[in-house]
Structure 1
Amino acid sequence: MFIKSFHKQLIVLFVTASLFYSCEETINPDLEDADPKLVVDAWLNNKVEDQVVKLSWTQPYLENTLPTGVSGATVVVTYDGGEVIFTEDANAAGTYRWTPTDVTSADVFGTIGRNYKLTVQVGAETFEATSRINRTVAIDSITFEFEESDPQYPDNSYTAEFWATDPVGKGDTYWIRSYKNGVALLKPSEINVAYDAGFTAGGNFDGVTFLPPLRSVNPDEEDENDEPLSPYEPGDSVYVEIHSITLEAYNFLNQVIIQTDRPGGFAELFSTPLANVSTNITNLDPNGTKAVGFFNVSAVSGMGKKLELE
């Protein structure tokens, strides 16, 4: 019995060692190049500032360069009673911009409940997408906490969170965008979306204070040894915005998180397989080239605070 048991243990050890050795082996896959597709990056809002639509082409998966901008396109957003024409930036190919003429008054994107249609014409092809601007929620306050001992951060760290209450009425969806010292937190692990005051439709967190994990507005930063850093230090500032988004945009961002926040290593064996992320961009020609990306128009509330010791 002892010999049989020892023999089984040797087999297990050998298989385990082989598995980890395989994980370290360098593989250079020979991937086929797909035809380029139009990428539409159109996240507009009701802030009185420049609104920007970015157009680019997809590129091979292993290409280590920035995507090529799409020049010469026609970009228009229409709504009941008006239209907004976006003009290509002369210094940034593929960047189309609209600047409000009167920054002291609400711009045309400021009406909650209004429907919008984006039309993009590239060559002989025309692409469209629609979005509705939903209500957002005001931020009540931002607080900093001194953490003497927290397993996620080094000892004596400062963390931040916002406080807000979801309005009564199920189905509100939000993108919570945070900035540290004016720099947006856009890593996959820092994307923060909410359904009402919780994570999913089944959570039943309508009309209550946002849950603690959602309230966290801390950057995911590491030092040169890959050790976590304190999210904030005295003198740092945090700015938080709550963007209302459509349910389709909420699903899109959740898919982005799943497809881009990859732990790597052995854990990848149990991760969700890579897949295409959904889009609301449609080619008017059903037999034409498919596009990727997303169009959403948000109502935005915001608040900022600086970490100052008393």
Structure 2
Amino acid sequence: MILKSLYKQLLGIVLTASLFYSCEETVNPDLEDAEPRLVVDAWLTNKVEDQFVKLSWTQPYLENALPTGISGATVVVTYDGGEITFTEDAEETGTYRWTPTEATSAEVFGAIGRNYTLRIVTGNETFEATSRINRTVPIDSITFKFEENDPQYPDNSYTAEFWATDPVGKGDTYWIRSYKNGVALNKPSEINVAYDAGFTAGGNFDGVTFLPPLRSVNPDEVDEDDVAISPYEPGDSVYVEIHSVTLAAYNFLNEVIIQTDRPGGFAELFSTPLANVSTNIVNVDPNGSKALGFFNVSAVSGLGKKLDE
């Protein structure tokens, strides 16, 4: 999952090192242990495909291992007129699945404006989160462009962009997800979110075509010498989805970008310190343990295209 790497404990520690030390000096910080917290990865959609809620425990920041999945939980999503239960996957600990049909998908996640509540019971604690399914926007087309003199790419490169128009009415927020040859573009630098047709609420780009930087659906790829390569070659395909997200989910994804898209080097001395990103997962007991992660329900539009040989 795109957010898997985020679910280590981001302890918000600033490591201060003297600029007079050698660049080769090794620093081994002594980090305090912390109680594991529940992490929820629940990004549901109206697509007729398996829907997943993933539960895991946080782990020490420097631990080089996948998070431990949580087994034996109860996972239910309720909405006006019904509820659905997610069943634990027998082969993947911590993964809870619901398999829709054409009819059940439309019934459950087909109503724009409907509110949903996720309820998780694990051990003796209960957690809840709410989301609203907002409208998305259809993708009109995808185009490829042959680049000869773009300084960002080598000569004779192919780039791609989608075309769509934000509907009139301020406050639509989206997560634009792209796939090259069926593989999701999920690096931190490839996370693409929009507020109306622009980047932020203050941009005032309501009801217009998405801005050019947002329309870009190009992988961030380099060769063995760390030199940018052509995003696409003849025969490659691109598939683009526009997911409606709540404003809280839009803010969450922006925080993810800030926390994970960190190039390193000297500039890191002046960057924002690591910290836990926001969450909408709440323990029903105010004195209970805290949780991390996010719950969102999206309406999705999609379109694909192949670059002809």
Letter of the 1:94 counterpart: G
1:274 corresponds in structure 2 to 274
2:45 corresponds in structure 1 to 45
2:109 corresponds in structure 1 to 109
1:290 aligned to 2:290? yes
1:302 corresponds in structure 2 to 302
Shift of residue 26 of structure 1? Answer: 2.0
User: For the residues of structure 2 that align with 1:105 and 1:272, how far apart are their CA atoms?
Assistant: 41
In structure 2, do the counterparts of structure 1 residues 48 and 33 end up closer, same or farther at CA, with 3 Å as the change threshold? same
Shift of residue 223 of structure 1? Answer: 1.1
Shift of residue 23 of structure 1? Answer: 4.2
1:64 corresponds in structure 2 to 64
User: CA offsets, 1:186-217, max 9 Å, x none?
Assistant: 10000000000000000000000000000000
Shift of residue 150 of structure 1? Answer: 1.5
Shift of residue 33 of structure 1? Answer: 1.4
Shift of residue 20 of structure 1? Answer: 7.9
Question: Which of 151-160 and 112-121 deviates more?
Answer: 151-160
User: For the residues of structure 1 that align with 2:177 and 2:109, how far apart are their CA atoms?
Assistant: 19
- Bigger Cα Rg: 1
Alignment of 1:170-189 (within 5 A): 170-189=170-189
Shift of residue 107 of structure 1? Answer: 4.6
Alignment of 1:7-22 (within 5 A): 19=19, 22=22
Q: Residues 47 and 105 of structure 2 are in contact (CA less than 8 Å); yes or no, is this contact kept in structure 1? A: no
User: For the residues of structure 2 that align with 1:156 and 1:304, how far apart are their CA atoms?
Assistant: 23
Shift of residue 270 of structure 1? Answer: 2.2
2:8 corresponds in structure 1 to none
Letter of the 2:149 counterpart: S
The number of equivalent residue pairs is 292
User: For the residues of structure 1 that align with 2:166 and 2:219, how far apart are their CA atoms?
Assistant: 24
Q: Residues 76 and 118 of structure 1 are in contact (CA less than 8 Å); yes or no, is this contact kept in structure 2? A: yes
Letter of the 1:69 counterpart: G
User: For the residues of structure 2 that align with 1:107 and 1:90, how far apart are their CA atoms?
Assistant: 27
1:159 aligned to 2:165? no
User: For the residues of structure 2 that align with 1:254 and 1:141, how far apart are their CA atoms?
Assistant: 26
User: For the residues of structure 1 that align with 2:103 and 2:307, how far apart are their CA atoms?
Assistant: 30
In structure 2, do the counterparts of structure 1 residues 20 and 266 end up closer, same or farther at CA, with 3 Å as the change threshold? farther
Letter of the 1:207 counterpart: G
Shift of residue 22 of structure 1? Answer: 4.2
TM-score by length of 2: 0.92
Letter of the 2:82 counterpart: G
1:82 corresponds in structure 2 to 82
1:100 aligned to 2:83? no
Letter of the 2:216 counterpart: S
1:133 corresponds in structure 2 to 133
User: CA offsets, 1:101-128, max 9 Å, x none?
Assistant: 4469725112111000000000110000
Shift of residue 28 of structure 1? Answer: 1.2
2:146 corresponds in structure 1 to 146
User: CA offsets, 1:137-182, max 9 Å, x none?
Assistant: 0000000001112111111111000000000000000000000000
User: For the residues of structure 1 that align with 2:248 and 2:102, how far apart are their CA atoms?
Assistant: 32
Q: CA RMSD in A?
A: 1.4
- Determine helix, strand or coil for the equivalent of 2:35: coil
- Determine helix, strand or coil for the equivalent of 2:34: coil
1:240 corresponds in structure 2 to 240
Q: Residues 45 and 300 of structure 2 are in contact (CA less than 8 Å); yes or no, is this contact kept in structure 1? A: yes
Q: Residues 40 and 294 of structure 1 are in contact (CA less than 8 Å); yes or no, is this contact kept in structure 2? A: yes
Letter of the 1:80 counterpart: D
Q: Residues 120 and 126 of structure 2 are in contact (CA less than 8 Å); yes or no, is this contact kept in structure 1? A: yes
Where structure 2 has 5 or more consecutive residues not aligned to the other structure, the ranges are: 1-17
User: For the residues of structure 2 that align with 1:41 and 1:152, how far apart are their CA atoms?
Assistant: 34
In structure 2, do the counterparts of structure 1 residues 175 and 274 end up closer, same or farther at CA, with 3 Å as the change threshold? same
In structure 2, do the counterparts of structure 1 residues 23 and 259 end up closer, same or farther at CA, with 3 Å as the change threshold? farther
Please list every run of at least 4 consecutive aligned residues from structure 1 whose deviation after the TM superposition is greater than 3 angstroms.
18-24, 101-105
- Determine helix, strand or coil for the equivalent of 1:257: helix
2:28 corresponds in structure 1 to 28
Q: Residues 49 and 103 of structure 1 are in contact (CA less than 8 Å); yes or no, is this contact kept in structure 2? A: no
User: For the residues of structure 2 that align with 1:60 and 1:221, how far apart are their CA atoms?
Assistant: 30
Letter of the 1:91 counterpart: E
Letter of the 1:152 counterpart: Q
User: For the residues of structure 1 that align with 2:218 and 2:156, how far apart are their CA atoms?
Assistant: 15
